[in-house]
Amino acid sequence: MSQKAAEAVVVAGGGRGLLFYGMLLIFVILPLLTFVSALTRKLKCPEKSWKFCLLNAALRPIRQFRLSLGPINYKNGYNFDKACQKAMDIAAKKYKIQIDSKDSMAVWGKNKDHDFMENYRTIYATPTWKTMKFHNIGLMMANKEMNSVLIRRLQFVNFLKLNPDIEKISVPKPCFVIGLPRTGTTWLSRCLAMDPKVHAPKLWELLRPVPENQQLKRNTDEMMKDRAKRQKEVKMLLAMRKDLGDSAMDHIHEVDADNHEECLWAMSDDMPIMMHQLYTDYMEGSVFFSKMDNEVAIRAYEYYKKQLQLLIWQRKDENLENPTRLLLKSPLHLFYMKALGTVFKNCNVVWTHREPVSAVPSMGSLLKGVHQLYFEPECRDDHMLGKNLNRVSEEYLKKCPEDMASVNLNCKHVYYGDTTTNIVETIKGIYKHFGWEFTSEYEQILINFDKSEREKRNKMAEKKGATSGHAGSGHKYEPEEFGLTKESFENAGYKAYKEKYCINDPTLPKPEKKK
């Protein structure tokens, strides 16, 4: 055999060897490593689905090398300042918004007294945030949320410049449903939103309030098509999140594009209250509430009011002189009643009450679930979370009535037990208090909705096999899980609150008669 032939055989053999080892790497070693990583994740986080664990493991090399593949982008990690620059680039390219880099304050709707970016940086500077460690899917979702919020703000500020008359629209005397998280605010607000004479913003409206085409006019077919497109986008976004294999929140708080949702989703444009920030917000409550004070909250509510004006403006055939009554909801409002009443003067308030020994641990369970969506479990301290939730809850249950009285708000108090056992009579009481018309049509809608929701919750409870916690929801929790005991809720602040509001709550044990 000639030398050249021999060399050719060696090269060919070497090529086959490289091909063999390449195939071995791709089809054996990498899948095996991915499975081992997924198995480790499953053992570490048993609440996660296998689908989630496998996807999270598969994303590891992409994150490791900071790659960008379509919607999967790990190039900058989690970086607020770079996200702001990226949002401006997208706004200019995709939405044709003129960006003047020399006047960034105007682009973002900021001024010397109003800088939402500083609100965000306050949270990013806290010790708790610095210890947060995203898992691979969590980092991807958090970046998606942050980019959406920043782009939405740029779109909104620009759209108001093009349509200044929007800010002249009357905002009808809104009704706000407030209360500690996990006191039935979601259930009650969704039932109140069933009234055909009421408008409650849906999740897709809060996430995508601004027309993509910045030149659109109201009451046009093009506007309706734009709204339908945005609604579809949000549905696809939520479907994508579920496809990622993480449904840890389904049994605690149902999320759907067409559900009536919390003001929190829209107000995150101005305050650091995106989903992935909530754990840090409560863990750093003293920092959060000292920075996000009444003045900051007033500016946030003024901004939110403009968002509501935009939503009213978009609704087909809406009477802008006398718009449909608005129903709004978020536990966040409990902490800012003075600011709320300053911006939405003479608004109505419905306050839901529940025994704190049930509500606070349930809130802890909710925040634990939120944390699991984004972060590794080792950077969560459940006992410290319980301690902080307990302190914040007691403080604001005492403060809220004082703030409400200072701005002269009309409030109807309702009890968690009443909303879960007889929602129709509870709502009749609310309507009577505010002098609203309660129609037979609305009553029948409520009866049918209550029946269907009870059947759904019972099926979910059977599936989960739950025996405690949120009745019929499959949501289980105990105070001890968060370092709390029943005695933790016997402080002076809680006692005053329970004596003032909860004595008639049918879920509470009746006090023993004195001999």
Contact predicate 117/108, CB 8 Å: yes
Give CA–CA dist 217/39, Å, rounded: 53
Nearest CA to 395 out of 425, 433, 356 is that of 356
Q: How far apart are the first and last CA of the chain?
A: 114
3-state secondary structure of 405: helix
Give CA–CA dist 491/496, Å, rounded: 9
What pLDDT shows up at residue 464? 61
Nearest CA to 384 out of 286, 484, 290 is that of 484
What pLDDT shows up at residue 452? 92
Give CA–CA dist 240/140, Å, rounded: 12
Along the 515 residues of the chain, how does pLDDT read in single tens digits? 565 555 554 445 556 667 766 676 666 677 778 888 888 888 888 888 888 899 899 888 888 887 776 666 777 789 999 999 999 999 999 888 888 766 667 788 876 666 889 999 999 999 999 999 999 999 999 999 999 999 999 999 999 999 999 999 999 889 999 999 889 999 999 999 999 999 999 999 999 999 999 889 998 999 999 999 999 999 998 888 877 755 655 655 678 899 999 999 999 999 999 999 999 999 999 999 999 999 999 999 999 999 999 999 999 888 888 889 999 999 999 999 999 999 999 899 999 999 898 899 999 999 998 999 999 999 999 999 999 999 999 999 999 999 999 999 999 999 998 999 999 999 999 999 999 999 999 999 999 999 998 888 787 777 665 433 434 455 567 899 999 998 888 887 888 888 888 654 444 444 343 33
3-state secondary structure of 260: strand
463 Cβ partners below 8 Å, 6+ apart? Answer: 474
What are the helix (H) ranges across 375-439? 382-406, 416-421, 423-434
Q: Which tokens go with 391?
A: 């302190």
Give CA–CA dist 271/118, Å, rounded: 9
Domain ranges of the chain: 11-74, 76-501
For domain 76-501, which architecture applies?
3-Layer(aba) Sandwich (3.40)
What are the Cα distances from residue 341, in Å, to 114, 294, 329?
Answer: 20, 11, 14
- Tell me the pTM: 0.88
What pLDDT shows up at residue 4? 56
What are the Cα distances from residue 270, in Å, to 127, 170, 192, 193, 257?
Answer: 22, 22, 27, 25, 22
Rg of the Cα trace of the chain? 26
Give CA–CA dist 144/129, Å, rounded: 18
313 Cβ partners below 8 Å, 6+ apart? Answer: 163, 166, 169, 218, 320
